[in-house]
Structure 1
Amino acid sequence: MTIGSHLEEFHDLPAFTFPGTGDAPADVSALPSPESVAWRIAVDSYDAKEEWEEAFARFLDTVDTRQVRALIVGAWSEVYDSAPDAVIKALVAARDRLPALRGLFFADIVMEECEISWIVQGDVGPLLEAFPDLEEFGVRGGNQLVFPAVRHERLRTLTVETGGMPVEAVRGIAGSDLPALVELDLWLGTSEYGGDADVSDLEPFFAGTRLPSLTCLRLRNSEIQDAVCAALASAPVVARLQILDVSMGVLTDDGATALLTGQPLTHLKELDLSHNYLSEALRTRLLETLEPAGVEVDAGADDADSDEEDDGTVWRFVAVGE
């Protein structure tokens, strides 16, 4: 599976592409009120007629950005070949013109523009430093992604979507102090696309000491999903979660059994294991054990892709790789 459509909503606001960027017409005569939408700024990823920074400058000159609450960064030119250093620099330079900004999604880029694992990323640390009042931050693409350890007092939701997350980025997030963070969503990906983190690198998330407000943990889209679930079976953070999501990865009966036979899960509101390689027997066992306790369980169906070689070798895949 790949990402085929842009965000339709972000930070509880409908997404709106600023005219003249992306595929939006250039007419700016009837714009929505600045605070009513999540503004998407994008240029063509191939042979762009305008650089992203130029489109952003037009946005700053056209919209009363003092009221803008959410911003979506779409494609920049040559996104498959160029790091977004100039894009990040332009955003940081505009910090004083965006005092109400509370939501920022970086790289809302779909497969027709650039596959997720081809997006050349950069250091997103300066964005969190420049906007200390952010409540929601998301970034897509793991290729050359840098996410240093930070302290951010107000961030409530952090999403990092990759087909392969570099171990140093995982460690940076794990080493961050995020006292207000309620939801953490990491797509760990595969080693084929640079996802070289081991389950031991996730230990700070399992302990949860740097995330005292966390109630929703999503560790998904991983080829090490069984090991993640085995660690979660005794992880201290689970006891205070409301939502646990281990979907989109290579989850087999081994990982699900470890999770089910570990610490109690009946306090959860939701458990998501969709896109998995579970037997029907274990899928039924999960539902019969947890649903009577009031847990909303998505045990998925037999919808995960796999290939079998002539020699009997079975290859299993995460939901979003390339």
Structure 2
Amino acid sequence: MEKKFYMDWDNEILQEEFINNILADEDLAKIRSLVIGRWGECWDEESCQLIIDMFVEHAERFAHLESLFVGDMESEECEISWIKQGDYSRLYAALPNLKKLTIKGAQGLELGEIAHDKLEHLEIISGGTPCGVFASLQNAHLPALKTLIVYIGIENYGFDASIDIVMKLASKSLFPSLMHLGLMNSEEQNEITRRVLESDILPQLEVLALSCGTLTNEGAEYLLKHADRLSHLKLLDLHHHYMTEDMQKKLQKTLTCTLELSEALTSEVYDDEVYMHAMFTE
């Protein structure tokens, strides 16, 4: 059973009452997938720390959870870069049966020391993922992890790592069970593409997502050059890109894996400057 808890615009309550409503929900023991939406003025002074602490302080009530999504909001509710997140350091031990964790927003986000034997899916959706999050991921102990998706974002909205740091995630020794890797939503999508093609994790992947960023014909040329390294993939997801129609046809003709090429965009030029944008920023 999945259930979403969120604060209605027409019924603003204190976050403490919001938490009490979750704890008092008659279906709580049946919920396997729990989604947290807007928890108040999450763009202002209210982070989700009290909600994270709820899972820790009432761990016995949530030990059965298999999926958790914190921050499921549309932009009309709160822009992604405004969402005030929290410290998840104590969450992993509190939810021993968790298989999927999705976190949206990265302002104030701390993953801490990540260790979980059953977590299979970890997804960070952000307009700008900070260096500290990458550091936690690089030191994670997640032997069962099959899917890792990181929306990298841009400097103006919180991304302060280097591509060298980002690419440390593409390591088979770090994630021996990984089958789906998404390094997405970046202004450096071409360089990320080049580096992934040289990584030692690529042969074990079934799905590779390099989407939602500013991938151009330059990045596509790397894909064509290393087409043999991609033949084992079930899906190469490149949606939201800046490749020309001719280049898309070349990819479709050359690569044997399934391709996702939707949302083709065209760069804009102002005062001789070329502008492209990642999908999620502000």
Q: Bin the TM-score by the shorter chain.
A: over 0.9
Q: Which residue of 1 aligns with 2:108?
A: 144
1:69 aligns with 2:29: no
Q: 49-58 vs 108-117, which deviates more?
A: 49-58
- Please report how far the alpha carbon of residue 50 of structure 1 lies from its aligned counterpart in structure 2 after TM superposition: 1.4
- Please report how far the alpha carbon of residue 301 of structure 1 lies from its aligned counterpart in structure 2 after TM superposition: 4.9
**Are the aligned partners of 1:135 and 1:155 in contact in 2 as well (CA < 8 Å)?**
yes
Q: 79-88 vs 211-220, which deviates more?
A: 79-88
Secondary structure of residue in 1 paired with 2:165: helix
**Are the aligned partners of 1:53 and 1:90 in contact in 2 as well (CA < 8 Å)?**
no
Provide Cα deviations, 1:113-164, integer angstroms capped at 9, x if missing partner: 1100111111122222311210000000011211223111000011110011
| Amino acid corresponding to residue 270 of structure 1 in structure 2 | L
Q: Which residue of 1 aligns with 2:13?
A: 50
Map residues 165-314 of structure 1 onto 2, 5 A cutoff. Answer: 165-262=129-226, 264-290=229-255, 293=256, 295-302=257-264, 304=265, 306-309=267-270, 311-314=271-274
**Are the aligned partners of 1:221 and 1:320 in contact in 2 as well (CA < 8 Å)?**
yes
Q: Distance in 1 between matches of 2:91 and 2:185?
A: 25
- Please report how far the alpha carbon of residue 103 of structure 1 lies from its aligned counterpart in structure 2 after TM superposition: 0.5
**Are the aligned partners of 1:149 and 1:174 in contact in 2 as well (CA < 8 Å)?**
no
- Please report how far the alpha carbon of residue 63 of structure 1 lies from its aligned counterpart in structure 2 after TM superposition: 1.4
**Are the aligned partners of 1:42 and 1:75 in contact in 2 as well (CA < 8 Å)?**
yes
Q: Distance in 2 between matches of 1:129 and 1:269?
A: 34
Q: Distance in 1 between matches of 2:16 and 2:49?
A: 11
**Are the aligned partners of 2:64 and 2:95 in contact in 1 as well (CA < 8 Å)?**
no
Provide Cα deviations, 1:251-283, integer angstroms capped at 9, x if missing partner: 111222123313610110100111111122221
Secondary structure of residue in 2 paired with 1:185: strand
Distance of aligned partners of 1:130 and 1:308 in 2 relative to their CA distance in 1, 3 Å threshold: same
Distance of aligned partners of 1:286 and 1:246 in 2 relative to their CA distance in 1, 3 Å threshold: same
Q: 209-218 vs 51-60, which deviates more?
A: 51-60
- Please report how far the alpha carbon of residue 189 of structure 1 lies from its aligned counterpart in structure 2 after TM superposition: 0.7
Secondary structure of residue in 1 paired with 2:168: helix
Distance of aligned partners of 1:59 and 1:306 in 2 relative to their CA distance in 1, 3 Å threshold: same
| Amino acid corresponding to residue 280 of structure 2 in structure 1 | V
Q: Distance in 1 between matches of 2:38 and 2:263?
A: 34
1:319 aligns with 2:279: yes
Q: Distance in 2 between matches of 1:270 and 1:122?
A: 33
Q: Distance in 1 between matches of 2:181 and 2:137?
A: 13
Unpaired runs of at least 5, structure 1: 1-35
Distance of aligned partners of 1:199 and 1:42 in 2 relative to their CA distance in 1, 3 Å threshold: same
Distance of aligned partners of 1:258 and 1:141 in 2 relative to their CA distance in 1, 3 Å threshold: same
Q: Which residue of 2 aligns with 1:39?
A: 3
**Are the aligned partners of 1:174 and 1:202 in contact in 2 as well (CA < 8 Å)?**
no
**Are the aligned partners of 1:174 and 1:204 in contact in 2 as well (CA < 8 Å)?**
yes
1:80 to 43, 52, 56: 43
Q: Distance in 2 between matches of 1:123 and 1:153?
A: 20
Q: Distance in 1 between matches of 2:113 and 2:249?
A: 41
Distance of aligned partners of 1:204 and 1:106 in 2 relative to their CA distance in 1, 3 Å threshold: same
TM-score (norm 1): 0.82
**Are the aligned partners of 2:18 and 2:39 in contact in 1 as well (CA < 8 Å)?**
no
1:111 aligns with 2:75: yes
Provide the aligned C-alpha RMSD in A.
1.7
Q: Distance in 2 between matches of 1:221 and 1:122?
A: 22
